[in-house]
């Protein structure tokens, strides 16, 4: 007889996991041919004093990012939402939000846009929040010392599995602590010299909060490589403001970069797609040349 568990982290040939119903934590061995990742649902058999994974159930999606050579690397499985955290400091790097949105769209993960450290400058993200709300995204302005700023966000996390994303030092772990006090994450200080985070979180780990019945996945805040090698049409699919004009270009294989009769370019000229989004799209497509 086997029982179903959810993987919370993996080591060399063992995985830590929690029971899907009673959330009891155990550690189990897995054979080399199975490669469980955080968030996987697995079948486990109990032999004498040992637990062993016999099967990984089919993943409905997985959150991925590029390794140092642009290859797709699976980080976590069965993720409902991605909480993209940005902060006043360290300031978001250019295109980081749109890059995460491309991954979210590709893997079918609902994005939650969180703008943290609002205490440092309440107006810093005003235009961005405005723009992305108009696009239809859920946005949240937060401060890790003020619980009233996370009430709506907490409600959104209940009964779901959410992966935290964002640069090191933006406050992913701090916000999780505020929303789920029973979950203990490490937090770090920003470096005085660089103003950047120190990569306090070093392994991908899923935490369960029983109050909210929420799972939260914290992963190291590194995203220097970000998107793996992708085609222009896959990137365009992540720009939801392009949707209305898709299929209207002169050429069916249009990459919306320089082609004549491009419906996306026309929409930009007519102000139906914002310039800063189109420019970001062009930069992201262009950045793919580094993987070539
Ligand atoms: N002023 C201010 N500081 C904050 C806020 N949220 C977090 N911090 C501080 O920012 C620093 C980094 O926070 P962490 O929660 O460790 O950041 P992280 O995103 O988890 O970083 P990594 O684990 O390295 O990816 C800590 O010193 C926090 O106290 C906030 O809303 N306002
Ligand atoms: Mg952290
Ligand atoms: Zn086009």
Which ligand sits nearest to residue 86's alpha carbon?
1
pLDDT tens series, the chain, 292 aa: 899 999 999 999 999 999 999 999 999 999 999 999 999 999 999 988 899 999 999 999 999 888 878 888 899 999 999 999 999 999 999 999 999 999 999 999 999 999 999 999 999 999 999 999 999 999 999 999 999 999 999 999 999 999 999 888 899 989 999 999 888 765 555 556 565 555 555 688 999 999 999 999 988 755 555 788 899 999 999 999 999 999 999 999 999 998 999 999 999 999 999 999 999 999 999 999 888 7
CB of 89 closer than 6 angstroms to any ligand 1 atom: no
Distance between CA atoms of residues 172 and 75, nearest Å: 17
Q: Which domains does the chain have, with CATH numbers?
A: 2-56 (2.40.50.140), 62-218 (3.40.50.300), 232-291 (1.10.40.50)
In the chain, DSSP assigns E strands to: 2-10, 14-19, 25-29, 41-47, 50-56, 62-66, 72-77, 81-87, 110-116, 138-141, 161-165, 205-209, 214-218
Residue 219 tokens, joined: 């992963």
Pocket test for ligand 1, best of 174, 203, 223 (most atoms within 8 A of CB): 174
Q: Residue 258 C-alpha to ligand 3 middle, in angstroms?
A: 8
Q: Report which ligand 1 atom has the smallest distance to the Cα of 198.
A: 24
To test the pocket of ligand 1, the residue of 148, 185, 197, 218 to mutate (highest count of ligand atoms within 8 Å of its CB) is 197
Q: Is 119 in the pocket of ligand 1 (CB under 6 A)?
A: yes
Ligand 3 centroid–CA 201 distance in Å is: 41
pLDDT tens digits, one per residue of 28-68: 999 999 999 999 999 999 988 899 999 999 999 999 888 87
Does any ligand 1 atom lie closer than 6 A to the CB of residue 204?
no
Q: What was the pLDDT predicted at 194?
A: 60
Query: Which residues, listed in sequence order, are joined to residue 15 by a DSSP beta bridge?
Result: 10, 28
CA atoms within 13 A on the CB side of 163: 31
How does DSSP classify residue 238?
Answer: T
User: Which pLDDT does position 102 carry in this prediction?
Assistant: 95
Give the number of other CB atoms < 10 A from CB of residue 58: 9
């Amino acid at each position: 007889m086997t029982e179903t568990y959810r993987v919370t982290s993996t080591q060399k040939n063992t995985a830590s996991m929690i029971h899907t119903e009673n959330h009891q934590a155990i550690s189990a061995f897995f054979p080399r041919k199975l490669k469980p990742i955080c968030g996987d649902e697995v079948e486990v058999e109990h032999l004498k004093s040992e637990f062993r994974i016999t099967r990984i159930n089919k993943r409905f999606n997985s959150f991925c990012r590029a390794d140092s050579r642009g290859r797709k690397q699976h980080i976590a499985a069965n993720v409902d939402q991605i909480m993209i955290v940005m902060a006043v400091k360290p300031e978001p790097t250019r295109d980081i939000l749109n890059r995460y949105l491309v991954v979210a769209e590709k893997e079918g993960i609902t994005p939650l846009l969180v703008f943290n450290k609002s205490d440092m400058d309440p107006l810093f993200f005003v235009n961005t929040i405005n723009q992305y709300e108009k696009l239809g995204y859920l946005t949240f302005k937060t401060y890790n010392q003020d619980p009233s700023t996370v009430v709506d966000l907490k409600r959104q996390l209940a009964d779901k599995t959410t992966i935290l994303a964002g640069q090191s030092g933006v406050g992913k772990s701090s916000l999780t602590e505020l929303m789920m006090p029973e979950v203990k994450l490490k937090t770090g200080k920003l470096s005085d010299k660089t103003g950047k985070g120190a990569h306090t979180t070093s392994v991908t780990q899923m935490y369960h909060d029983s109050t909210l019945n929420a799972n939260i996945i914290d992963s190291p805040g590194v995203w220097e490589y970000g998107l793996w090698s992708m085609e222009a049409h896959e990137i365009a699919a992540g720009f939801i403001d392009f949707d209305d004009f898709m299929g209207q270009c002169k050429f069916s294989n249009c990459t919306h970069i320089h082609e004549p009769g491009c419906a996306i370019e026309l929409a930009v000229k007519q102000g139906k797609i914002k310039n800063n989004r189109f420019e970001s799209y062009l930069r992201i497509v262009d950045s793919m040349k580094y993987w070539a």
